[in-house]
C-alpha cells in the first residue's frame, strides 16, 4: 500500500518552548518555501462575528474576505502568532483551504509561528486572492 504523503507532516503538536501553550514544533529541518500544511476551512459570514467572539472559537478564526471569516481545520488553528514568524498562510479560494508555507529555514525542534495579521493594516485582501502566483503548485 502506498503511503499517503498528506499525513507525513514535518511538525508535531507540542508545548511551545517560549509561550508554554500548545503549538506546532518542527520534527525535522524544513527548508524555506516548503508547504507544511493545507487545511480545509469552514466559512462563517462576518455578520456572526459577535457570536464567534463569545465562544472559544474567538481565538481560532481567521479573516477570509470582507464577507466571511473562517475556522481553519487541521493543524492550522494551532500555529501561534509572532511578528518574527517563520511561516505564512495563504487562502485558496477555489479549494476552500488555508495553506501554510515556510518563509525561512526552520530547524528541528523550532516552533512554527505565523503572523496572524500578515502585515500592516494597509495590505489588501487582493494580496491573498491570487493564490497560484503567491504559492505555486501544491505537492502536499
| Helix, strand, coil tally for the chain in percent (to 5) | 20, 35, 45
Q: Whole-prediction pTM value?
A: 0.78
pLDDT in the model for residue 8? 86
> For residue 4, what pLDDT band results from cuts at 50, 70 and 90?
low
Predicted confidence (pLDDT) per residue in 52-95, tens digit: 999 998 888 999 999 999 999 999 999 999 999 999 999 999 99
Task: Encode 79-89: b = buried (16+ Cβ within 10 Å), e = exposed.
Answer: bbebeebbbbb
> Rounded CA gap, 106 and 108, in Å?
7
Task: Report the topology of domain 10-119.
Answer: Beta-clip-like (2.170.270)
Amino acid at each position: 500500500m502506498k503511503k499517503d504523503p498528506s499525513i507525513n507532516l514535518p511538525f508535531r503538536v507540542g508545548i511551545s518552548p517560549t509561550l508554554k501553550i500548545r503549538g506546532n514544533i518542527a520534527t525535522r529541518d524544513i527548508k524555506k518555501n516548503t508547504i507544511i500544511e493545507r487545511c480545509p476551512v469552514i466559512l462563517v459570514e462576518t455578520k456572526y462575528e459577535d457570536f464567534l467572539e463569545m465562544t472559544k472559537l474567538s481565538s481560532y478564526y481567521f479573516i477570509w474576505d470582507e464577507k466571511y471569516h473562517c475556522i481553519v481545520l487541521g493543524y492550522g488553528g494551532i500555529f501561534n502568532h509572532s511578528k518574527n514568524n517563520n511561516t505564512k498562510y495563504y487562502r485558496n479560494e477555489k479549494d476552500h483551504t488555508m495553506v501554510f508555507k515556510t518563509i525561512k529555514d526552520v530547524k528541528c525542534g523550532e516552533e512554527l509561528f505565523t503572523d496572524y495579521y500578515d502585515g500592516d493594516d494597509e495590505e489588501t485582501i487582493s494580496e491573498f486572492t491570487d493564490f497560484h502566483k503567491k504559492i505555486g503548485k501544491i505537492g502536499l
